[in-house]
Amino acid sequence: MDALPTHLLQLALQSADLGVWMLDLERDQEVLRSLRHDQIFGYETLQPQWGLEIALTHIVEEDRHILTDAFERARTDGSLSCEFRVRWPDGSIHWVSPLGRTEFSEGGIPLRVSGVVADITVRKQMEAESLQRSKMAAIGELTAGMAHDFNNILQGLGVSFELISNLARSGRFSAVPERARLGQELVQRAAMITHRLLAFSRRSPLTPCALDLASRLPDIVSLLRPTAEHHVNVTVWVSPNLPAIHVDSAQFEAAILNLLVNARDASPRGGNIEVTAQQAQDMTLALDDDKTYQSFALIEVMDQGSGIPLEQLDQVFEPFFTTKPIGAGTGLGLSQVYGFANQSGGKVDLDSVLGVGTRVRMWLPFESSDSSTDAVVETLSPSLEQSSVIDKPTGRILLVDDEFEVRETMATWLKQLGHEVIVASDASGALERMREAAESFDLMISDIGLTGPMDGCELAYQCRVLYDDMPVLLVTGYAGDDLEKRLPPDTLVLVKPFDMPTLVAAIAKCVT
């Protein structure tokens, strides 16, 4: 085929709004470029000189490596394609995309690269607007789902409190504990939702420990069985002598429960849900900190449910994505599993066949001899089952919280447990109580997010200055991913909401 006439090539370039360039690699000098090339970089006329080094001065600093890396690849693989931001002489930012081919000598030495360049600013703006619309739609779905869940919880709590009030007024005190238990279960449901939100955003701090799958998996499955329909059969199999894994116990429990709930909801016509755990074969993952776990446990959750359409498989781990109707799911379950597995040094994948079922595989690292055991913070999550109040020592406690309702209810709890309680609403008030006290305190319990110039972590440090051996228990509704760095050594953290047995256990751990 004959080459296209020059005027047709020029017409094509003008129609596509492309600039033309050719760079001599040996001299770093463009031997050919069009006016449109320089216009894309913000100039109305052709500049006297141009080359790679000159081009780099026009590129936003953090994007410069994109072009240099592209030229390095072009020297070997023969093609160049990239996108980066440039700053025009007037200060405005534009997106630019060059596309080129490398010409080599007979000996294979790269001589020059030639190609075209386009201003893709409008396209990038449209992509950003589309992404923003998608985010807003996702937030809308999340809001609807969360509003549905929390409204149900609030409705249940409101009814429970009203019934307890009516029962107390009528003297039917024997029925109060059952209504109180239902209210506590609703609080735990709300706590699980907030934990999912923190886990998917990877802002939930992990406290890894040795976890025995042979005993833990059956316990977790037992939590699902009371809510599963009679036609769904859940079985657990753990390979004999499987070593302990090294993960955060509470987040592991949440991840497995998320998988089980999804499997149950996908099986409206019944069937089997299988949970298995065994040693993974030939599995090695490189971690962000350049360490490598050589041995992994493979945990699988399989159902015989409705399955997931092929076109949706790539989206299942995305935050807010859900195949359930609005209000029936938050779209945070699988994203929590994904975030937990990756944050733990493992990974997760999913395969599904529509109408046949779904299998989720999660690889988690085994406990090793060099696993960290000297964490400065231990977080206690709310117990999922009501436990009996253990024998507890009584003592003199300084309670610090800036929320009046929380402070008063906590003080009532502690007094019911037999403790003497002194309260303060902020850090300065707490320090004043310590200095004025005729008798020392056995324990300080403080919220982390105190109002004022000093938060609970700083207060804990000041407390250690005044009383070196005084135990400190910190409580918080959001621990944050940098909490360990902010705490004094050997400080226990209790995550809200928690029940009285959990509080009793935390106090006992602090003072013994």
pLDDT digits (tens, 9 = 90+) for 31-86: 788 899 999 999 999 998 888 899 999 999 999 999 999 999 999 999 999 999 99
CATH number at 305 reads: 3.30.565.10
Is there a single domain that holds both residue 359 and residue 382? Answer: no
Least confident residue range of 102-116, 194-208, 305-319, 410-424: 194-208
Enter the tokens of residue 316. Answer: 């299942």
Enter the tokens of residue 113. Answer: 């690269």
Among residues 342, 365, 388, the one where a domain terminates is 365
DSSP structural state of residue 443: E
The string of pLDDT tens digits covering residues 137-164 is 656 666 666 676 777 788 878 888 888 8
Work out the average pLDDT over 119-128.
89
Work out the average pLDDT over 362-371.
76
Residue ranges making up the domain that contains 138: 133-200
Count up the domains in the chain and report the number.
4
Among residues 155, 176, 200, the one where a domain terminates is 200
Task: Report whether 322 contacts 330 (CB < 8 A).
Answer: yes
- From residue 331, give the alpha-carbon distance in Å to each of 70, 146, 265: 38, 10, 13
With cut-offs at 50, 70 and 90, classify the pLDDT of residue 6. low
490 part of a folded domain: yes
128 part of a folded domain: no
The string of pLDDT tens digits covering residues 272-326 is 899 999 998 755 554 444 445 558 999 999 998 888 888 777 767 765 555 554 4
Which residues are registered as beta bridge partners of 103? 112
Is there a single domain that holds both residue 65 and residue 159? Answer: no
295 part of a folded domain: yes
Is there a single domain that holds both residue 77 and residue 186? Answer: no
The string of pLDDT tens digits covering residues 408-465 is 888 988 998 889 999 999 999 999 999 888 788 899 999 988 888 888 999 999 988 8
Q: How far apart are CA 507 and CA 446, in angstroms?
A: 12
125 part of a folded domain: no
Task: Report whether 491 contacts 460 (CB < 8 A).
Answer: yes
Long-range contacts at 286-294 (CB < 8 A, ≥ 24 apart):
287/345, 291/345, 293/345, 293/346, 293/365, 293/366, 293/368
